[in-house]
Amino acid sequence: MRKIIHCDCDCFYASIEMRDDPSLRGRPLAVGGRPETRGVVATCNYEARKFGVHSAMSSARAVRLCPDLLIIPPRMEMYRVASAQIMDIYRDYTELVEPLSLDEAYLDVTGSDRLQGSATRIAGEIRQRVAQAVGITVSAGVAPSKFVAKIASDWNKPDGLFVVRPQDVDAFVAALPVSKLHGVGKVTGARLKALGVETCADLRTWEHDRLRDEFGVFGERLHDLCRGIDHREVSPTRERKSVSVEQTFVTDLHTLEACQDLLREMLDQLDARVRRADAQNHIQKLFVKLRFSDFNRTTAEGVGAALDEEQFRILLATAFRRNPRAVRLMGLGVRLGAPGGQLALFGDQTVSEPDTV
């Protein structure tokens, strides 16, 4: 039986800003891009969330919901420094630390002899140390699997700890809404609801073959998750699957030519990121992503082993012709394989930030 802890910093970017400037505390705060440049909220504090503001929301909408909202630009270097401090604390307890982002990680403490091997006590001490050393709060979930631990960490947010003991997993998961299952988004959730499935207990009444017929391979995953079954191990190194750059435009681009005029500059940015990730020899596919003025999105991709400008132009033209609307966002990227071994996701970490031109 494994002992897994999922640690998640509470509104990480905003917490760092409030730590460094106490005058920001108690007022609605977001970190992200400016409303007038089609910026996006990266994160916000709990005062802002009371108004319905959340991450990935456009800054313009966030301000409409909360007119007193203060939006400040991200300081990624400060967040990376804080993240490194936090990850060092985690590794005092186990080498099996799997970062998911700057502010989130899984820890497998099954073999740890710290605090008599108690995962609950380890999680509690970690939270205390992060608060004292870094000055922000961390919520944690403790469970026998990654799936349940991640849900548990959100149970008592902010600044909370929730433990799901092995004997309680079955009942805990049975009561969960299916929307909590990894991979169940709005579309799948609505589909399940239309089929009369709202909780994991409801989903358990479906036979394995019926789930597979209805949802394909994902049906097998649903069969396991609704029963709390998750055999994934905590992996200290995770494979980087893609590298990309994107830009959101202040003014929509109405022609293919206008998009192509920006291609060279964005390709240079992508090349720099690929080199920082040491991924030049791992490229397997190229892709172009567009978001149109009606917020529909499309991605065109093709096989490629290098950053070929002409191929990107072809993919851009393919994507552009799929929707007769103007373009508000364009992204370029590569999908990676690992012929020489895994690519370290966190060796030279880059974080996507809202870009505007």
Which of these, 247, 264, 245, 246, lies nearest to 313 by C-alpha position?
Answer: 264
Q: Which pLDDT score, from 0 to 100, does residue 341 have?
A: 42
Q: Give the CATH number, domain containing residue 311.
A: 3.30.1490.100
Judgement on whether residues 324 and 272 belong to the same structural domain of the protein: yes
Judgement on whether residues 267 and 219 belong to the same structural domain of the protein: no
Residue 63 within any structural domain of the chain: yes
Residues pairing with 332 in the sheet:
245, 288
Judgement on whether residues 249 and 206 belong to the same structural domain of the protein: no
Judgement on whether residues 260 and 211 belong to the same structural domain of the protein: no
Give me 226's structure tokens.
């609704």
Cα–Cα dist 190/286, whole Å: 32
Q: Which pLDDT score, from 0 to 100, does residue 339 have?
A: 52
Which amino acid is it at 301?
A: E
Judgement on whether residues 273 and 322 belong to the same structural domain of the protein: yes
Report the Cα–Cα distance between both ends of the chain, in Å, rounded.
51
Query: What ranges make up the beta strands (E) of the chain?
Result: 4-9, 29-32, 41-44, 70-72, 97-101, 104-108, 138-143, 161-163, 242-253, 283-292, 297-303, 327-336
Residue 178 within any structural domain of the chain: yes
CA angle 252-254-260, nearest 5°? 95
Judgement on whether residues 246 and 204 belong to the same structural domain of the protein: no
Judgement on whether residues 246 and 332 belong to the same structural domain of the protein: yes
Judgement on whether residues 186 and 263 belong to the same structural domain of the protein: no
> Whole-model pTM?
0.73
Q: Which pLDDT score, from 0 to 100, does residue 355 have?
A: 35
SS3 289: strand
Q: Which pLDDT score, from 0 to 100, does residue 37 have?
A: 77
Residue 214 within any structural domain of the chain: yes
Judgement on whether residues 277 and 313 belong to the same structural domain of the protein: yes
Q: Is 159 annotated as a binding residue?
A: no
Residue 351 within any structural domain of the chain: no
Residue 211 within any structural domain of the chain: yes
Cα–Cα dist 148/4, whole Å: 9
Q: Give the CATH number, domain containing residue 20.
A: 3.40.1170.60
Q: Give the CATH number, domain containing residue 199.
A: 1.10.150.20
SS3 94: coil
Which of these, 81, 59, 78, 79, lies nearest to 70 by C-alpha position?
Answer: 59
Judgement on whether residues 200 and 264 belong to the same structural domain of the protein: no
Q: Which pLDDT score, from 0 to 100, does residue 343 have?
A: 41
Judgement on whether residues 250 and 328 belong to the same structural domain of the protein: yes
With a CB cutoff of 8 Å and minimum separation 6, the contacts of 24 are 17, 18, 70
Q: Which pLDDT score, from 0 to 100, does residue 345 have?
A: 37
Query: What ranges make up the beta strands (E) of 20-137?
Result: 29-32, 41-44, 70-72, 97-101, 104-108
Cα–Cα dist 293/309, whole Å: 25
Residues pairing with 192 in the sheet:
none
Last residue of a domain, one of 76, 102, 119: 76
Q: What is the domain range of residue 288?
A: 242-336
Instruction: Give average pLDDT by consecutive 10-residue segment, the chain, 357 residues.
Output: 95 96 96 85 95 91 96 92 95 93 94 93 97 97 96 94 96 93 84 92 91 87 91 82 86 92 92 85 92 89 90 93 90 79 36 34
Residue 309 annotated as catalytic: no
Judgement on whether residues 251 and 332 belong to the same structural domain of the protein: yes
Q: Which pLDDT score, from 0 to 100, does residue 7 have?
A: 98
Q: Is 230 annotated as a binding residue?
A: no
Q: Active site residue: 47, 98, 104, 246, which one? A: 104
Q: Is 169 in contact with 48 (CB distance < 8 Å)?
A: no
Q: Which pLDDT score, from 0 to 100, does residue 338 have?
A: 59
- Count the domains in the chain: 3
Residue 278 within any structural domain of the chain: yes
Cα–Cα dist 344/43, whole Å: 26
Which amino acid is it at 76?
A: M
Residue 151 within any structural domain of the chain: no
Q: Which pLDDT score, from 0 to 100, does residue 8 have?
A: 96
